[in-house]
Chains A and B, each alone.
Chain A
Amino acid sequence: AQSVTQLDSHVSVSEGTPVLLRCNYSSSYSPSLFWYVQHPNKGLQLLLKYTSAATLVKGINGFEAEFKKSETSFHLTKPSAHMSDAAEYFCVVSVRNFNKFYFGSGTKLNVKP
């Protein structure tokens, strides 16, 4: 079975400081992992994906995530937060050749001036 746990429902950082959004997954097979961002009243936009290539994945807007199989984690980081990063972030797991995607419950990122 596949599942995703986002460890923080809310994260608040100051502009210019690092961002860490935590995600743990459970998968019976080799997973594909994604991070999506959702701005208010908008659909979800892909930030980055891991599909069994390099374990450190770089995405858009300066975000990156590291796949750690031993820890079953896929945490999202950014060195320096920007006000425009304030949004809700979703970690998603799926399995190659399977047809379902499993979403975490989301982390709302607040960026303070």
Chain B
Amino acid sequence: EAQVTQNPRYLITVTGKKLTVTCSQNMNHEYMSWYRQDPGLGLRQIYYSMNVEVTDKGDVPEGYKVSRKEKRNFPLILESPSPNQTSLYFCASSLSRRGEQPQHFGDGTRLSIL
């Protein structure tokens, strides 16, 4: 089954404790992206990747890091999480980096930073 898999689905942690949210897709997609969803704001893009070793900032990259060492994986790293990063996070992938291709989304990761 074609899917985007995020882990963990839920995480409660404390300020300053490094964490990683994993994302994996099995569709051989070129393009992957991370979003955060906050009430009333829709989804905002954090980082995206056009291919292996190619990443770029989205609209809200502060406090986040990403890497793309393999085509299928695109982890999101919070080196020193803070309470304002409490949010619902989605990973997405699409066939190509051309904007006309729709994205496939994971089921989300709900992070709470205390």
Q: 17 more A-B contacts (CB under 8 A) besides A95-B99, A101-B45?
A: A32-B99, A32-B100, A34-B102, A41-B107, A43-B106, A44-B92, A44-B103, A46-B103, A46-B104, A94-B99, A99-B50, A99-B97, A99-B99, A100-B99, A101-B99, A103-B42, A103-B43
A14 part of interface (Cβ distance < 8 Å) = no
A contact residues, total (Cβ < 8 Å): 28
Q: Say yes or no: B100 contacts A96, CB within 8 Å.
A: yes
Nearest neighbor of B3 in chain A, beta-carbon distance: A43
- CB within 8 Å of B: which A58-110 residues: 90, 94-101, 103-106
Binding site for A on B (CB under 8 A): 4, 31, 33, 35, 40-45, 48, 50, 56, 58-59, 90, 92, 97-100, 102-108
Structural contact, A43 and B100, CB atoms closer than 8 A: no
